[in-house]
Amino acid sequence: MEKKVRVRYAPSPTGFLHIGGARSALFNYLYAKKYNGDFVFRIEDTDIERNVKGGEESQLNDLMWLGIVPDESPMNPNPKYAPYRQMERIETYHKYAQWLIDHGYAYECYCNEEELDASREEQYSRGINAPKYDRHCLNLTEEEKEKYRKEGRKPCIRLKLQDHLEISFNDLIRGKVTFNNDDIGDWVIMKSSGIPTYNFAVVIDDHLMEISHVLRGEEHLSNTPKQIQLYKYFGWEVPTFGHMTIIINENGKKLSKRDNNILQFMSQYRELGYLPEAIFNFILLLGWTPNSEKEFFTLEEAKHEFDPSRMSSSPSMFDQNKMNWMNAQYIRKLDEKKYLEFIKPFLAKVVDITKVSDEKLLFMANMFKEEIQYGQEIVNLLKPLFEYHLDESDEAKEILALETTPLVVKEFIKQIDNVNDLEQDTLKMMFKNIATSTGVKGKNLYMPIRLLLTGQMHGAEIVNIIKLLGKEEVLKRVSK
Ligand code: GLU
């Protein structure tokens, strides 16, 4: 029987869900769903100083927001594999570390920071530019260890690498990759605090949780030979690895979490009014090229059409404009009810929406449905309709000071008073009539009215504004 596909997304709870993490999670998820497998969410929290409160929860919530629901997680454990947080699995790591020591594959190291630094310096001075652990503690006798312990030193545990061993694996995305153990060094599997390092814990967990495929970011590529060495010592089957390319910004530089000019966290998208379906689609295309011209995928479609052999092997560019464009497409596709619900929380920031009917809100929001790229944008567009602030620019002043303006306004007041309804056709006809009777056309006709009605030179179509404000309010504003 074919082995069941089991994949995992294993974030460290050190912050919010980042676009890179979301991409790893998404492709693991799709991989699982494509092959009827399981998608596991595991927490790698051994770097305790960097853990943040609420990190796990927000990662999980943001994944769910995107529609990526784990089959197993700390909240939804399978007893066969639990627990799902590494700090709750410490005993297990100790057991396996001891096994490695007992079989001569690992050893205690008592060197302190100064000694390690000195050894590195000494290697640099000999022209070695990638110094390694010098194996000072490899063959310590019991007496020597005892002496160190008496000095109060606590050992860490290092893995004893097989010398000259070439480690190759077939990466799902980049093909054959080869490393040589001689370029690595006996690395620490257990810190002196008794907490395992990432490279050690990840192997134990992936094995015990029966993970079949490991899809993760390129930054982990150089960790893979370390991990494979462990699989070899334990005699365990090595999972299939796939390393996704880095995400770069428009200047070709690796996306940095510290770059505040670029939105990178799911929480930011959520707050600004990006739709999860749009972000999902954007991330999908950030690591994978479909076999057709198709540009929009639902989660269900992605599950079926995803083909791992088409995952990109060159860096993916994060293009904010494309993301905005994509989000705009999804906004346009919302039906009226969904659009209204989507836009309401943003409007609620500028106006007491309980005082305005849904019908009116929808009318207002619809004026910009084709225009906005994300929800928050509606706020500035609609604000002038709720509160009047006159544009103080020279251009606006010039328009109000035009010789023809008093005439236009007088005629507008007269005609608006006489129309029977405020429908588009009626109002358009009315403006034509004003043009005929005053001889003023175009900008000089519309701009003064717009300024008096909204205070702004730009915004919604004038006929829509009139309908929205109602005759009484329109008269009030222009008569001022
Ligand atoms: N905790 C690691 C990270 O957040 C996971 C790496 C892996 O998938 O092996 O990068």
Residue labelled with tokens 């310590």: 140
Q: Percent of the chain having pLDDT more than 70? A: 100
Pocket residue to mutate for ligand 1, from 202, 204, 215, 244, most atoms within 8 A of Cβ: 202
- In angstroms, what is the span from residue 40 Cα to ligand 1's centroid? 13
Find out whether the beta carbon of 44 lies less than 6 Å from any atom of ligand 1. yes
Distance CA 27, CA 39 (A): 10
Find out whether the beta carbon of 202 lies less than 6 Å from any atom of ligand 1. yes
- In angstroms, what is the span from residue 23 Cα to ligand 1's centroid? 13
Q: Can you tell me which atom of ligand 1 is nearest the CA of 223?
A: 9
Find out whether the beta carbon of 205 lies less than 6 Å from any atom of ligand 1. no
Task: Give, using CA atoms, the residue closest to atom 3 of ligand 1.
Answer: 11
Where b means 16+ CB within 10 Å and e means fewer, 99-116 reads ebbeeebbbbbbbeeeee
Dump pLDDT digits (tens) for 83-110: 999 999 999 999 999 999 999 999 999 9
Helices 55-65 and 19-34 cross at an angle (nearest 10°) of: 60
**What is the pLDDT of the chain when averaged over all its residues?**
95
Dump pLDDT digits (tens) for 124-178: 999 999 999 999 999 999 999 999 999 999 999 999 999 999 999 999 999 999 9
**Of 91-95, 210-214, 316-320, minimum mean pLDDT range:** 316-320
Task: Give, using CA atoms, the residue closest to atom 10 of ligand 1.
Answer: 11
- In angstroms, what is the span from residue 42 Cα to ligand 1's centroid? 10
Confidence class of residue 384 from pLDDT cuts 50, 70 and 90? Answer: confident
Find out whether the beta carbon of 85 lies less than 6 Å from any atom of ligand 1. no
